[in-house]
Amino acid sequence: MSASMDANADPSSYPRPLTGSPPLDVLVVEDDTTTRTVLCRFLSERGLAVEGLEGGATLMDRVRDSGASVVVLDVNLPGENGFSLCRRLRHKEDVGIVMLSLRDGATDMLT
């Protein structure tokens, strides 16, 4: 989706890459298998096309190839963390990003 698109346009009209399979709505990047499975199931039961990834190694290619509209990123991924992946996505892709964290300490809160 380009920045010049009308914000009220039908999302299904956004151009998406042709890969031989239906475009994804959401990519979930979460290393915990249970959390990833539950989140993917929750979103798919609400009519979204969802794919779960265990880590960020293939994220950039999957975003580009899948036509995903939103990426849900775990903050605490092994290897490259969610914040770093978020920065890379912001520089190269036009996709919404939702940060996911199970952190609950006072120092973990965004202000």
Q: What DSSP letter does each residue of 11-59 carry, written as one string?
A: GGGS-----SSPPPSEEEE-S-HHHHHHHHHHHHTTT--EEEESSSTTH
Q: What is the per-residue pLDDT for 39?
A: 94
Q: Which residue type is seen at 85?
A: L
Surface-to-core class of residue 53, CB atoms within 10 Å of its CB (0-12 exposed, 13-18 middle, 19+ buried)? buried
Q: What is the per-residue pLDDT for 6?
A: 40
Whole-prediction pTM: 0.72
Q: How confident is the model at residue 85 (pLDDT cuts 50, 70, 90)?
A: very high
Q: How confident is the model at residue 26 (pLDDT cuts 50, 70, 90)?
A: very high
Radius of gyration of the chain, Cα coordinates, nearest whole angstrom: 14
